[in-house]
Structure 1
Amino acid sequence: MVKTNEDMGMEIFGFFTEVSIIAQLSISLFERHLPEGLTHSQFGVLNWFHRVDDEATPGRLAAAFQVTPGAMTNTLKRLEAKALIKVEPDASSGRRKRVTITPAGRDMRQQAIESAAPLLAEFVEAFSAGAIAGQTRDLAKIREYLDEYRYRESIRLEPKTDKKMPRSG
């Protein structure tokens, strides 16, 4: 039997529902294992510096995490108060700020990962490493597609002006 567009739509909706539930459950589990005083969003920023780049503007981080600039500023202030990041004026711009991770921030990220080791060990016992590796590759492709889609949509939705506005990050 040939699947209809409606059938495919329901399958895709079901897929994203499962991904959303997995995200909620895994974040909740991971947060319980984080070092005292570190939130999931704070860990996310520290991990971003490990995965993506050595420095960023607050605007670039807000865009990457799809949060408001105010929400990102709040997270950055809390990380800076713990000396896990450094926020400094950008030498090339009087208004922009540059955010970098400190050695203490790198250590905290590593400590957070190590504190989740018991949870990860139990997970590895329940699922084969090969299956997880294959799914990780597939999920990375989906993430890359959605990230590119988000970028295309942001360009499409930008107000039309005669001047080309620089991207925030």
Structure 2
Amino acid sequence: MPDTRPSPYFVLFNEIGIIHQLSRTLLEERLPDGLLSSHFGVLNHLVRVGEGTTPLAIARAFQVPKTTMTHTLGGCVKHGLIEMRPNPDDARSKCIWLTSKGREIRESMVAQAATGFEGFAEHFSEERIETLLPVLTEMRQFLDKARDAT
């Protein structure tokens, strides 16, 4: 009888997808009213890779259509989390900058995430998590590089 078990690669990415869904729900339960995980994602991205990037560059980083990112950025502007300023290199486009409110909410959410993971932290020690991070980072970098190559 042939082996019908899915490959470990499928199982890995399936588990990562489920973890993403569960962690997104946990995050959204703690966000201020009206904010979504996509808004937090933009704030986190701007802190992680730097401000002053274009909506198109952010859309590419998130691998979503520019129209979808425009809608997400509009929500961030509405909540006072980001500012859109003219692009100094191309007057036809804008660049995205965090506001002090956006930076504060991002920092608050990172701090709150720690409290949301109390039970998780009791089960998985920081040391155990830190052993996983290099492999996960390497996987992300590989996939990111492969995406840019296509």
Question: Is the shorter-chain TM-score for this pair beyond 0.5, marking a shared fold?
Answer: yes
How far has the Cα of 1:47 moved from its partner?
0.4
Using the TM superposition, give the Cα deviation of residue 55 of structure 1 relative to its aligned residue in structure 2, in angstroms.
1.7
Change in 2 beyond 3 A, CA 1:141/1:7: farther
- Structure 1 SS opposite 2:35: coil
Question: In structure 2, how many angstroms separate the alpha carbons of the residues matched to 1:54 and 1:117?
Answer: 25
- Distance of aligned partners of 1:79 and 1:32 in 2 relative to their CA distance in 1, 3 Å threshold: same
On the 8 A contact 1:57/1:99 being kept in 2, the answer is yes
Bigger RCO of structures 1 and 2 (CA < 8 A, at least 6 apart)? 1
Cα deviation for residue 123 of structure 1 reads 1.5
Q: Could you tell me which residue of structure 2 aligns to residue 68 of structure 1? A: 65
Amino acid at match of 1:61: I
Percent identity over paired residues: 36
Give the Å deviation of 1:138: 0.8
2:92 aligns with: 95
Q: Tell me, which stretches of 5 or more residues in structure 1 are unaligned?
A: 1-5, 154-169
TM-score normalised per structure 2: 0.91
Aligned CA distance change for structure 1 residues 71 and 11 (closer, same or farther; 3 Å)? same
In structure 1, the partner of 2:117 is 120
CA contact (8 A) 1:30 1:116 kept: yes
For residue 104 of structure 1, the aligned residue among 98, 101, 113 is: 101
User: Is 2:35 the counterpart of 1:16?
Assistant: no
Displacement of 1:128 after TM fit?
1.5
Larger radius of gyration: 1
52, 56, 60: which one pairs with 1:55? 52
2:40 to 16, 38, 43: 43
Q: CA deviation at 1:70?
A: 0.4
Residue 28, structure 1, aligned to residue 17, structure 2: no
Q: Determine the C-alpha separation between the residues in 2 that align with 1:55 and 1:32.
A: 29
| 1:139 Cα deviation from its structure 2 partner | 0.4
